[in-house]
């Protein structure tokens, strides 16, 4: 099932909600996600029997919701590990892509936003304003985590899983977000301006340009032409290697010469990704090993 392109005009906060998405505790969100899954399992068979929902659609909606819950179990397990605590649930493997998760959340949110005011006004319906607000706040928070924090959005999957326009937006936003962070590091003397500029230009501009071209958006001539998924994988791998190398510089496990060697390779990758001549692959890149 495919949907319309995801855009930024979907309201981040429901009109009945009181709390902002960031103010809703994670455990409260997870309870609401589980409650909705149980409701679907209980209600959907009747909708299918009444010809109000196709069986394959019911199965899809339930399966995607399970994937959203699994994402949050992975998040909770990661938090538990960080706190040196055990976590009882073994999350299911990743399935479905990032846009499918976001579309499913938006579908459920829109259904609730449309229905809840009518239910509250209906004398026979037990839904209260407070309960409606709490349920909407939980899903607002989950949706905001996916959309604004790029939750469960992994760069290596950009080409095959994500809306390319969203990938471009994410790359541009990440570049802007990281600038104050790296500026602060430079102020402490642990990273110089030149290395920061090289990291920014060689990695995020590459990912952004690739994604914009994939989406059919106009970009500056000389940037990435449409190409294979390998380019996106290489760009993501370059970003990962740059981050790892910078972290090693920070903790003292590598020296400046080693960092310069890595950045030299990254610059070659960036030049190759931005080159109109895809056949001209610098030997130092070793694309087969990096794309593996």
231 in Cβ contact with 224 (< 8 Å): yes
Whether 143 and 178 share a structural domain: no
Whether 268 and 284 share a structural domain: yes
User: Which of 132, 153, 174 is where one domain is finished?
Assistant: 153
Whether 110 and 190 share a structural domain: no
**Residue 11 belongs to some domain of the structure:** no
User: Which of 153, 179, 209 is where one domain is finished?
Assistant: 153
Amino acid 80: pLDDT: 79
Whether 68 and 190 share a structural domain: no
Whether 207 and 127 share a structural domain: no
Amino acid 47: pLDDT: 96
Whether 121 and 187 share a structural domain: no
The model's confidence at residue 97, banded by pLDDT at 50, 70 and 90, is confident
**Residue 10 belongs to some domain of the structure:** no
User: Which of 153, 184, 213 is where one domain is finished?
Assistant: 153
Amino acid 93: pLDDT: 64
For the ranges 163-167, 190-194, 224-228, 250-254, which has the lowest average pLDDT?
Answer: 224-228
Whether 162 and 91 share a structural domain: no
206 in Cβ contact with 274 (< 8 Å): yes
Residue pLDDT, tens place only, 186-237: 444 444 445 444 444 445 555 555 455 444 554 443 443 334 444 554 555 5
Q: Does 290 have pLDDT greater than 90?
A: no
Whether the predicted model's global pTM rises above the 0.75 cut: no
**Residue 6 belongs to some domain of the structure:** no
**Residue 178 belongs to some domain of the structure:** yes
Alpha-carbon distances of 27 from 34, 72, 85, 209, rounded to whole Å: 11, 10, 16, 38
The residues, any chain, with a CB within 8 Å of residue 77's CB and separated by 6 or more, are: 87, 89, 91
75 in Cβ contact with 27 (< 8 Å): no
The more confident residue out of 155 and 148 is: 148
Tell me the mean pLDDT in the region 66-77: 88
Report the mean per-residue pLDDT for the chain.
70
Q: Whole domain around residue 188: which residue ranges? A: 156-291
Whether 118 and 201 share a structural domain: no
The model's confidence at residue 38, banded by pLDDT at 50, 70 and 90, is very high
Whether 246 and 170 share a structural domain: yes
**Residue 101 belongs to some domain of the structure:** yes
CA-wise closest residue to 283 among 273, 271, 270, 268: 268
Q: How many domains does the chain have?
A: 2
Q: Does 100 have pLDDT greater than 70?
A: yes
For the ranges 3-12, 61-70, 100-109, 241-250, which has the lowest average pLDDT?
Answer: 241-250
Tokens describing residue 89: 């649930």
Residue pLDDT, tens place only, 133-144: 999 999 999 998
Amino acid 78: pLDDT: 76
64-78, 84-98, 168-182 — which one is most confidently predicted on average?
Answer: 64-78
Give the whole-number percent of the chain exceeding pLDDT 90.
31
């Amino acid at each position: 099932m495919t949907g319309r392109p995801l855009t930024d005009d979907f309201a981040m906060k429901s009109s009945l909600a009181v709390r902002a998405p960031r103010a809703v505790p994670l455990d409260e969100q997870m309870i609401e996600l589980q409650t909705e899954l149980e409701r679907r399992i209980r209600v959907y068979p009747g909708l299918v029997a009444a010809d109000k929902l196709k069986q394959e659609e019911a199965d899809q909606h339930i399966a995607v919701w399970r994937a959203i819950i699994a994402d949050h179990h992975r998040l909770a397990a990661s938090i538990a590990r960080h706190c040196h605590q055990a976590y009882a649930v073994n999350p299911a493997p990743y399935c479905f892509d990032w846009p499918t998760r976001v579309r499913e959340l938006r579908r459920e949110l829109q259904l609730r936003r449309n229905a809840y005011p009518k239910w509250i006004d209906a004398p026979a319906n037990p839904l209260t304003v407070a309960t409606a607000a709490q349920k909407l706040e939980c899903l607002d928070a989950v949706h905001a985590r996916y959309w604004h924090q790029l939750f469960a959005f992994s760069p290596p999957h950009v080409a095959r899983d994500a809306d390319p326009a969203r990938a471009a937006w994410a790359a541009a936003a990440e570049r802007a977000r990281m600038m104050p962070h790296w500026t602060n590091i430079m102020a402490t003397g642990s990273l110089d301006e030149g290395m920061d500029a090289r990291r920014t230009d060689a990695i995020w501009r590459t990912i952004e340009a690739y994604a914009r071209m994939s989406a059919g958006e106009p970009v500056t001539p000389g940037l990435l032409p449409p190409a294979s998924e390998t380019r996106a994988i290489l760009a993501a791998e370059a970003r990962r290697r740059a981050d790892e190398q910078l972290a090693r510089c920070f903790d003292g496990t590598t020296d400046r010469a080693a960092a310069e060697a890595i950045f030299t390779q990254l610059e070659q990758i960036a030049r190759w990704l931005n080159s109109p001549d895809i056949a001209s692959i610098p030997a130092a890149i070793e694309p087969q090993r990096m794309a593996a």
